[in-house]
Amino acid sequence: MANGIGFRLYLVTDRRLFASTGSLFTAVEDALRAGVRAVQLREKDINIRELLNMAYCMKELTDRYGARLFINDRVDVAIAVEAHGVHLGQGSIPASAAKKVSKGRLIVGVSTHSITEALDAAKDGADFITFGPIYQTSSKLKYGEPVGINALKIVRSKVSIPIMAIGGIKIDKIKEVMDSGADGVAVISAILGSGNIKQTTEDFLRCLQ
């Protein structure tokens, strides 16, 4: 794929949308069956042993569909389960350190919420960034008001690495974010919270082609 990271749809997990962890795996498998090729395991409120167990199971699942697995924040877990990458927050170790620790084996994504953070992540060696929230969304309320489309356009003009737009992105917003310079979109509830995950994923992928 021309954007340099091999995927345009980045599915981010949130098991709290489901009654059980097993339901999360079923939902992710529905999305994988529909064509998702990158999943970020993002479960911040569980202990390291639980996370490791989930990561092994998710790796087995993503491998089955030829998809890439990213682990949120924990480089050690990403290395242990032989994930394809790690996704770092602003409070995580720097991208350059993650590359060093993993001997360059991990693809490193970084969450950014301002133009400055985006520039810093690119400079520090991130392979790609998520940028947002572009629109209002409950999952990103702690990051304040949406950064908006204009900020996305500015970041696109200043960084050469792939940008995955995140935050409140529904099907009807895809054209706007892609026209503004995004290389793809990262979503949580737009897919995992939908009534028909397979169909919604197919709709997203079709709009992203």
Catalytic residue positions, numbered: 42, 111, 140
Residues recorded for the chain: 209
Tokens of 43: 């479960």
Give percent helix, percent strand, percent coil of the chain, each to the nearest 5: 45, 15, 35
Nearest by Cα to 27 from 139, 190, 138: 190
**Pick from 81, 71, 131, 133: nearest CA to 107:** 71
